[in-house]
Amino acid sequence: MIVFRAPGEIPADFGRTVVAIGKFDGVHLGHQAVIRRMRELASRHGARSVAVTFDRNPLAVIRPDRCPENLVDVDRKIALLGEHDLDATLLLTFDEQLASRTAEEFVADILVAALRARAVLVGHDFRFGRGGAGSPELLGELGAAHDFEVEVVEDVYLPGSDRRVSSTWIRELLAEGDVAGAARLLGRPVDVTGEVVHGLKRGRELGFPTANLSETVDALVPADGVYAGWLRDHDSGIRHPAAISVGTNPTFDDVARRQVEAHVLGADDLDLYGHRVTVEFTEHLRGMVAFADMDALREQIADDVAAAFAVLSREEPQNDPGRRPPA
């Protein structure tokens, strides 16, 4: 997938395009439905498929007081879009200049002049142009004037649910620690990627060494608590079963920030320092609590490890040569 970071980077001979516009935060099942429809239309019209998205949530500029946390950072968003066989993504810098463009200017400069759009797909709540004045209805009128069709893609609902799949709903589930529920909306497991760094080594003192992730990760971390999940070591390609802790370790009250740490089941001698790893959350086991002493904490961690083992042992075997089953 080609990534254009400004309309001017698109070659003049790129050809006609079918475009889907959106924040694509998390690239969840709703976004994936839009992408599938875009690819269908692109194939029908013999055009290129292009996602148009932004380097930040537009609310970060327009209404920063109302701007939620992103589900994924911009690099992860691009990587996720790249998994869906698009021809290109146009990543627009959403700044005051872009926010001040009228709806008509956005269409003329980006959709028509740069992308030569043959069709444009949006959601029913899509707004664009200065002050959010542009709507799907206005986009349809402008499309008729500029030789492109507009399609409003229907919302996606999980079976038995009357709530549409959305990034807002996923954030709510993550705030509750419901990683299994969030995974159903995302169409993939909840995970975060970062570098393994040195910590206080309390896990090793307790007999359960952990891989501590750096403060900077590529996705929204779920609620404080203990989870069953997996740790994929990007250096070796091996996916290890793990018990995962998120929080500030209230038993000791000397951890300044929330941290993600994973204890690999049955492999106490791994040296992962400096490795880039992905921690994947499968199931929430319990909330984060303070314990009276080290012995009580050690006993609880042993129970957590056993619970994680039981959860991960129930997972269907995967066709993954790098997957190490629970020991």
pLDDT tens for 96-128 read: 999 999 999 999 999 999 999 999 999 998 999
* CATH node for 2-153: 3.40.50.620
Residues 6+ apart with CB under 8 A from 174: 71, 182, 190, 220, 221, 222, 223
Paired with 281 in beta bridges are 190, 229
| % of the chain exceeding 70 in pLDDT | 91
pLDDT (tens digit per residue) in 252-286: 665 667 899 999 998 877 889 999 999 999 999 99
Can you tell me which residue has the tokens 């995967």? 318
Strands of the sheet with 48-54, listed across from one edge? 2-4, 88-92, 48-54, 17-21, 117-123, 149-153
pLDDT bucket at 248, cuts 50 / 70 / 90: confident
CA dist 203 and 174 (Å) reads: 25
Class of domain 191-313: mainly beta
For the chain, the structural domain boundaries read 2-153, 191-313
Stronger pLDDT, 318 or 13, i.e. the higher one: 13
Are 80 and 72 a contacting pair, CB within 8 Å?
yes
Token readout for 228 is 């069953």
Look at the pTM and tell me if it is higher than 0.85.
yes
Determine how many CB atoms are found less than 10 A away from the CB of residue 215.
Answer: 13
**What is the predicted pLDDT for the residue at 205?**
60
* Token code pair at residue 165: 């799949």
CA–CA separation, 268 vs 132, rounded Å?
Answer: 54
Query: What distances in angstroms separate CA 34 from CA 59, 77, 156, one per listed residue?
Result: 22, 15, 10
Average pLDDT for the chain: 91
